[in-house]
């Protein structure tokens, strides 16, 4: 019965524009819909830290039972998150970290490992004098900081590989053409983009300037679907991508566990792996299957909803006829 108490879970999503974030939101929606007593509200902060602050404020004031946050940056939200936590509201942090330990649970993959995996992939090609261009994300979020750390850690310990250039995503359109023009002075063999979109953009710029180039591209995220990481690996645009799961369904599962008074771990670290030509097809097939199941669940739920509506209209008519 819809009048029964529903638990309210609120989620503040820092960025809205890309597929990775949409997958995260969708995973939460599907997971929430499996629980009749859960009501999920997603707030989109659209990369605006002030909006994200006010969303957390709203969730605290409106008495949400669990708050989930994917924070834009590590510092500005700390005092508000601590306020929620100190009030006893369970707080789950997803993907990006904050500079505080006052939260109930964190869910996400280890971004130092993500950086290390990309570097090891390059180093494992066993060639000499490999040089790399690193393209970092533009914001100072924890994934950017940690991917950079892990990537440099491995490369600095390998005498065969060096990072010749390190630039930021925001400077890509202007810097990459300049770099491509000076390849005879400082070559590059690999580009590591901090996500698949960055790596894809770098590939497009390179293709349009230097059609014969043999530079190889590596990204992060490994999403399924049109123009996403797995497909870019399959069609040879990317040599590899590091899988970075969104953690949407895990975050929602943790929220539900908390509401059911079950114990949850503070750190919930998701697995990552390299996707290249060897496993791209298997990964695609697995995700296609999951998507099919999700779609079936959603259409079943639609049918149940319709049946419930028909039932309640019929019983209202019946009550009217019987003068109840
Ligand atoms: C999407 C994204 C992903 C990246 C993650 C890091 O908004 O930039 O591409 O892996 O966020 O927080």
Mean pLDDT of 161-187: 94
Which pLDDT tens digit goes with each residue over 223-247? 999 999 999 999 999 999 999 999 9
Mean pLDDT of 108-125: 97
Which pLDDT tens digit goes with each residue over 65-115? 999 999 999 999 999 999 999 999 999 999 999 999 999 999 999 999 999
What residue's CA is closest to ligand 1, atom 2? 20
What number is the ipTM of this complex?
0.96
Note the pLDDT of residue 226. Answer: 95
Strand ranges across the sheet with 105-109 = 38-44, 7-13, 66-70, 91-94, 105-109, 267-270
Which pLDDT tens digit goes with each residue over 259-295? 999 999 999 999 999 999 999 999 999 999 988 988 8
Q: For ligand 1, what atom is nearest to the CA of residue 220?
A: 10
Question: 81 CA to middle of ligand 1, Å?
Answer: 21
3-state secondary structure of 156: helix
Q: For ligand 1, what atom is nearest to the CA of residue 14?
A: 7
DSSP string for residues in 38-100: EEEEEEE-TT-HHHHHHHHHHHHHTT-SEEEEE-SSSSTTHHHHHHHHHTT--EEEESS--S-
More confident residue, 131 or 4: 131
Q: What is the pTM of this model?
A: 0.91
Which pLDDT tens digit goes with each residue over 184-222? 888 899 999 999 999 999 999 999 987 778 999 999 999
Q: How buried is 206 (Cβ within 10 angstroms: 0-12 exposed, 13-18 middle, 19+ buried)?
A: buried
Question: 96 CA to middle of ligand 1, Å?
Answer: 9
What residue's CA is closest to ligand 1, atom 6? 143
Residue 35 has what DSSP assignment?
-
**In contact, 192 and 151? CB cutoff 8 Å:** yes
Examine the pLDDT at 2 and tell me if it is beyond 90: no
Which pLDDT tens digit goes with each residue over 44-61? 999 999 999 999 999 999
Question: 25 CA to middle of ligand 1, Å?
Answer: 13
Which residues contact ligand 1 via a Cβ below 6 A? 15, 18, 20-21, 95-96, 141, 143, 195, 220-221, 244
Question: 20 CA to middle of ligand 1, Å?
Answer: 7
Note the pLDDT of residue 3. Answer: 56
Angstrom distance (rounded) from CA 188 to CA 261: 54
| pLDDT band, very low/low/confident/very high, at 258 (cuts 50, 70, 90) | very high
Angstrom distance (rounded) from CA 318 to CA 185: 85
What is the largest distance, in Å, between two alpha-carbon atoms of the chain?
Answer: 91
- Burial code (b: 16+ CB inside 10 Å, e: under 16) for 131-152 equals bbbbbbbebebbbbbbbbebbb
Which pLDDT tens digit goes with each residue over 127-150? 889 999 999 999 999 999 999 999
Q: For ligand 1, what atom is nearest to the CA of residue 221?
A: 10
């Amino acid at each position: 019965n819809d009048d029964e108490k529903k638990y309210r879970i609120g989620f503040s999503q820092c960025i809205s524009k890309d597929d990775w974030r949409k997958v995260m939101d969708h995973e939460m929606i599907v997971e929430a819909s499996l629980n009749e007593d859960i009501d999920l509200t997603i707030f989109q902060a659209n990369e605006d830290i002030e909006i994200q602050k006010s969303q957390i404020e709203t969730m605290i004031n409106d008495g949400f039972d669990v708050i989930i946050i994917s924070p834009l940056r590590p510092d500005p939200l700390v005092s508000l998150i601590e306020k929620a936590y100190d009030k006893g509201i369970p707080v789950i942090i997803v993907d990006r970290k904050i500079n505080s330990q006052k939260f109930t649970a964190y869910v996400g993959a280890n971004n130092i490992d993500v950086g290390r995996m990309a570097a090891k992939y390059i180093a494992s090609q066993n060639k000499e004098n490999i040089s790399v261009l690193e393209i970092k994300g533009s914001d100072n979020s924890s994934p950017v900081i940690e991917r950079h750390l892990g990537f440099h850690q491995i490369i600095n310990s390998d005498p065969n590989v060096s990072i010749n250039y390190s630039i930021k995503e925001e400077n890509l359109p202007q810097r990459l053409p300049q770099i491509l023009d000076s390849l005879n002075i400082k070559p590059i063999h690999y580009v590591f983009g901090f996500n698949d979109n960055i790596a894809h953009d770098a590939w497009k710029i390179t293709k349009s300037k230097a059609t014969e180039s043999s530079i190889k591209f590596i990204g992060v995220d490994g999403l399924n679907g049109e123009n996403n990481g797995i497909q870019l690996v399959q069609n040879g645009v990317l040599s590899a991508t590091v899988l970075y799961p969104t953690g949407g369904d895990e975050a929602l599962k943790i929220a539900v566990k908390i509401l059911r008074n079950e114990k949850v771990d503070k750190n919930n670290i998701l697995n990552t792996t390299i996707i290249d030509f060897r496993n791209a097809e298997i990964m695609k097939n697995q995700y296609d299957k999951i998507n099919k199941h999700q779609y079936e669940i959603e259409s079943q739920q639609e049918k149940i909803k319709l049946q419930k509506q028909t039932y309640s209209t019929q019983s209202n008519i019946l009550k009217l006829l019987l003068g109840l």
